[in-house]
Amino acid sequence: MESIYDNRCKNLNKVKKEFSTNRDMAVKFNTTEQSIGQLLNGNRKIGNNFARRVESEMGLPTNSFDQRNIDIPSEIEEISKKIAELIVELDVPPEKIIQIIKTIYASSEK
């Protein structure tokens, strides 16, 4: 079973995708580039204060950084745009889109 520190490390690596460099991340989260590197590779554990700072700066719900598989807002936007492009490209009628959403929702409840 993964620890809270494993979850935080994985989530920080997801957040990393939003930045060009570790230096950019360090500036955003008011720490050093070296610290960011250690946190990203798991050589240093991410504490409560840093986890809450990342959540605050990234617009994430409090304590979400401790959970498995958080969604970064830009990831959701990117996926939504790709889905919308496919819907337009395939000329999917609205009633089919509703049916697809219901099917996805039903399968996620299992």
pLDDT at 110: 62
Q: How many domains does the chain have?
A: 2
Q: Which residue has the tokens 């960011």?
A: 36
Q: Indicate whether 51 and 81 sit together in one domain.
A: no
**59 with 41, same domain?**
yes
Q: Both 56 and 98 in a single domain?
A: no
Mean pLDDT of 1-5: 88
Residues 11 and 53 grouped into a single domain: yes
- The pLDDT value recorded for residue 73 is 63
Mean pLDDT of 7-17: 93
8 shares a domain with 53: yes
User: What is d(CA 64, CA 52) in angstroms, rounded to the nearest whole number?
Assistant: 9
* CA atoms of 69 and 93, how far apart (whole Å): 32
Same domain, 48 and 86: no
Both 81 and 57 in a single domain?
no
pLDDT in tens, 72-105: 766 666 777 788 888 889 898 988 888 888 888 7
Res. 4: pLDDT tops 80: yes
| pTM attached to this predicted model | 0.66
11 lies in the same domain as 52: yes
Radius of gyration, CA atoms only, the chain: 18
What is the span of the domain harbouring residue 24?
4-66
